Amino acid sequence: MYRIEDRKELASDIKLFKINAPLVAKKSRPGQFLVIRAHEKGERIPMTIVEKDGKKGIVTIIFQEVGKTTNQLGRLQKGDFILDLVGPLGRPTKIANFGTVVIVSGGIGITEAYPEAKALKEVGCKVISIIGARSKGLLILEEEMTRVSDDIYISTDDGSKGHHGFVTDLLKKLIDSIKIDLVFAVGPAIMMKAVSCMTQPYGIKTLVSLNPIMVDATGMCGACRVVIGGETKFACVDGPVFDGHLVDYDLLLKRLNMYLVKEEHACKLDEKLQS
């Protein structure tokens, strides 16, 4: 079992856990993730490894309470234990000095943007970060992203902080003003699609980290299958990072919405059991 060594609330319904997992902390690299199961009857859910401390054996995850399992996870406190934790999983992102890299992230996707930005900065890239959220109150890791970025831009849907609009508005301004060697996007699938559509006409290499429904996470079940350049890939073992210009986003969005009604039903049942 894996002990929660620290717990923080970063924003409304967004929690940070520091978990004792020495082997995962020792081996994980940017872009990889882990899968946890909170209790014996819980489902397996993937989580980005936001930070690691190999010496202390600690990994950091950040999650938003959006469904039954994340709501249950959010009720755990410092000193509680998570039953199962498997990782690191997925292919690490290739880290090299690409030149000027723009990292675009929104919502909980900022948690994955941070380790990527940090690693790229460490190898000499010029890192420009664009982070976005629905409102100022839901914006996370702003200080951390600022520390690992040469420049940072903020947008909120409601205009409560930074640019009033979308992250793609800020990306377009950068494309029109500077030479960009690589764009890395992570966040809602519709946002990653918009970023990829924007960069493709300019021939800017674009990487995206996909978030399909995942169960087994070791390539056995096929639940996380995505279509990349006309070929079926599994996000858990072939990704999660892919060429954004080759992703079939319409299929990805369709699959992400397959179980919305059942997820809503599970949430309501869980709330009823807690009341």
- Tell me the pLDDT tens digit for each residue of 156-176: 999 999 999 999 999 999 999
pLDDT at 259 over 80: no
Sheet of strand 45-48: strand arrangement:
45-48, 33-37, 84-89
Between 3-7, 51-55, 59-63, 266-270, the lowest mean confidence (pLDDT) is in 266-270
Task: Categorize the per-residue pLDDT at 103 as very low, low, confident or very high, splitting at 50, 70 and 90.
Answer: very high
Would you say 209 and 266 are in contact if contact means Cβ atoms under 8 Å apart? no
User: What is the reported pTM?
Assistant: 0.90
Task: Tell me what the pLDDT averaged over the chain comes to.
Answer: 93
Are β-strands 151-156 and 163-164 bridged in parallel, bridged antiparallel, or unpaired? parallel
Confidence (pLDDT) at 273: 75
Whether the ω angle into residue 88 lies within 30 degrees of 0, i.e. cis, is yes
**E-strand stretches of the chain:** 2-11, 14-20, 33-37, 45-48, 51-53, 58-64, 81-82, 84-89, 100-106, 126-133, 151-156, 163-164, 182-186, 206-209, 225-228, 231-234, 241-243
Domains of the chain in start order, with CATH, are 2-89 (2.40.30.10), 100-256 (3.40.50.80)
Confidence (pLDDT) at 40: 85
Report the percentage of the chain scoring pLDDT > 70: 100
Report the percentage of the chain scoring pLDDT > 90: 80
Would you say 153 and 163 are in contact if contact means Cβ atoms under 8 Å apart? yes
Confidence (pLDDT) at 174: 97
Return the structure tokens found at 50: 């936001």
- Distance CA(236)–CA(22), nearest Å, equals 22
Sheet of strand 58-64: strand arrangement:
51-53, 58-64, 14-20, 2-11, 81-82
The 10s digit of each residue's pLDDT in 188-228 is: 999 999 999 999 999 999 999 998 888 888 888 888 999 99
pLDDT at 66 over 80: yes
Q: At which residue do the structure tokens 């990653």 appear? A: 192
